[in-house]
């Protein structure tokens, strides 16, 4: 015998009315990044980046998010997070304070959700996608806390450290504090993006060794260099851009984007009281190959799609890796392309359908 849908006890508890509880549809999880207004890079910004090798976008990171980054640096100073595996120090140096110890921290997104979120900050990715996309691989995070009196980093080219093939590396330097010539801002050499990557005489580093006449350099690197940087022989080449070198003066929330070839450096923080904090990410086109950082399979697909392997975000920050997007790089996205026909004339044809000899 079938069991009744409602017992007498059920009816009594509901004043004789037969009611039932329907399952409540769960609201999908909404990430805060989903509500951030998008940013559209302009034609002039694109031209500026291609011409100079760098671009500063003012106010790209919203004020409340700059505040969150700043608060995080204070938490690090208060030892609320263990970042000891990611602290980068120059060999043989013993820090005199916790601030000095935390001068430069690498790859914190591997253990701290906030770092992953700001590696995949949508408005930064909007610009990255416009400059080196449409497919974007998120590669590296760094945090600089440059206290009063701290030295800067001498001339270098980022692709020397992080080679990609094809070469598509792009840095994004987020100002947390005002950065100016007093507290050790970045300095850029406009036009140096046309330079090759100068290889090391020995040790770690990538360079365009296939070029006849390429100069080999030494002493490139480190994060605590005297402004004169006498051991860095790349400086002799970069000094050729001296009259054109400009300070990247930035307000909190401004972001400097720069390619892997441009000569850049920072000088000593000469302020007695002011810090110069910045959160820095590196990206490349997701169709590029790299063996850096564990290779493509260890790096996060941030935008678009790729034929290469990729990683997913450890802490679930929204990005293309969780749901790869159709990309203009994908086969068939452009329905017709101008190609040579078997008859020898140029005419629109569907891609991948043109007869050809293997």
Reported as a single tens digit per residue, the pLDDT across 28-79 is 678 999 999 999 999 999 999 999 999 999 999 999 999 999 999 999 999 9
Q: Give percent helix, percent strand, percent coil of the chain, each to the nearest 5.
A: 25, 20, 55
Q: Quick one: pLDDT at residue 348? A: 80
In this predicted structure, the answer to whether residue 166 has a pLDDT above a threshold of 50 is: yes
Alpha carbon distance 165, 62 (integer Å)? 33
Tell me the pLDDT band of 82, cut-offs 50, 70 and 90. confident
Alpha carbon distance 264, 260 (integer Å)? 10
- Domains, the chain: 42-316 (2.60.120.620)
Beta bridge partners of 250: 179
Tell me the pLDDT band of 135, cut-offs 50, 70 and 90. very high
Taking the whole predicted model, whether its pTM rises above 0.85 is answered as yes
Q: Which residue has the higher pLDDT, 263 or 21?
A: 263
pLDDT (mean) for 167-178: 98
In this predicted structure, the answer to whether residue 332 has a pLDDT above a threshold of 70 is: no
pLDDT (mean) for 229-236: 94
Residue closest to 232 by CA, chosen among 257, 263, 206, 211:
263
Alpha carbon distance 86, 289 (integer Å)? 25
The answer to whether 243 and 39 have CB atoms below 8 angstroms apart is no
Please identify which residue in the block is written with the tokens 């995070």. 141
Q: Cα–Cα distances in Å, from 170 out to 39, 101, 155?
A: 18, 27, 17
Reported as a single tens digit per residue, the pLDDT across 85-96 is 878 766 556 677
The alpha-helical segments, DSSP class H, found in the chain are: 8-13, 43-52, 63-77, 98-101, 113-119, 122-132, 158-161, 234-238
In 40-57, which positions are buried (b, 16+ CB within 10 angstroms) versus exposed (e)? ebeeebeeebeebbbbbb
Tell me the pLDDT band of 98, cut-offs 50, 70 and 90. confident
pLDDT (mean) for 258-266: 97
Phi and psi torsions of 222, nearest 5°: 85, 160
Alpha carbon distance 214, 207 (integer Å)? 9
In this predicted structure, the answer to whether residue 214 has a pLDDT above a threshold of 60 is: yes
Alpha carbon distance 297, 291 (integer Å)? 9
Beta bridge partners of 303: 136
Peptide bond into 166 cis (omega under 30): yes
CB-CB neighbours of 133 under 10 Å? 23
The answer to whether 62 and 174 have CB atoms below 8 angstroms apart is no
Q: Quick one: pLDDT at residue 327? A: 85
The answer to whether 342 and 355 have CB atoms below 8 angstroms apart is yes
Angle at 217 between CA 212 and CA 220, to 5 degrees: 145
Q: Cα–Cα distances in Å, from 258 out to 121, 170, 229, 245, 255?
A: 17, 6, 22, 14, 10
The answer to whether 330 and 305 have CB atoms below 8 angstroms apart is yes
Mention every residue, 6+ apart, whose C-beta is less than 8 A from residue 215. 198, 237
């Amino acid at each position: 015998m079938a069991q009744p849908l409602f017992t007498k006890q059920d009816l009594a508890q509901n004043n004789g009315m037969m009611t039932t509880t329907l399952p409540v549809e769960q609201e999908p999880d909404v990430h805060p990044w989903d509500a951030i207004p998008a940013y559209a890079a302009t034609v002039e910004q694109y031209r500026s980046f291609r011409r100079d090798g760098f671009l500063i976008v003012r106010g790209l990171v919203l004020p409340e998010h700059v505040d969150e980054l700043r608060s995080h640096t204070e938490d690090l100073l208060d030892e609320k997070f263990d970042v000891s595996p990611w602290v980068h120090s120059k060999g043989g140096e013993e820090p005199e304070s916790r601030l000095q110890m935390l001068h430069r921290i690498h790859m914190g997104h591997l253990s701290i959700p906030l770092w992953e979120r700001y590696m995949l900050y949508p408005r930064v990715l909007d610009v990255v996608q416009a400059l080196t996309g449409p497919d974007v691989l998120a590669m590296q995070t760094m945090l600089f806390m440059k206290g009063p009196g701290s030295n800067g980093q001498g001339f270098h080219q980022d692709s020397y450290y992080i080679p990609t093939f094809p070469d598509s590396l792009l840095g994004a330097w987020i100002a947390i504090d005002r950065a100016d010539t007093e507290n050790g801002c970045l300095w850029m050499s406009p036009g140096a993006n046309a330079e090759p990557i100068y290889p090391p005489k020995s040790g770690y580093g990538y360079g365009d060794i296939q070029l006849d006449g390429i100069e080999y350099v030494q002493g490139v690197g480190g994060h605590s260099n005297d402004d004169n940087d006498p051991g860095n022989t790349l400086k002799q080449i970069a000094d050729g851009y001296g009259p054109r070198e400009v300070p990247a003066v930035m307000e909190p929330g401004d972001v400097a984007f720069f390619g892997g070839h441009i000569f850049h450096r920072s000088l000593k923080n000469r302020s007695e009281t002011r810090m110069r904090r910045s959160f820095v990410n590196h990206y490349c086109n997701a169709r590029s190959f790299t063996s850096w950082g564990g290779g493509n399979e260890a790096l996060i697909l941030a935008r678009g799609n790729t034929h290469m392997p990729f990683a997913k975000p450890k802490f679930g920050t929204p990005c293309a890796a969780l749901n790869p997007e159709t990309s203009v790089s994908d086969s068939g996205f452009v329905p017709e392309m101008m190609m040579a026909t078997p008859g020898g004339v140029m005419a629109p044809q569907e891609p991948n359908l043109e007869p050809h000899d293997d």
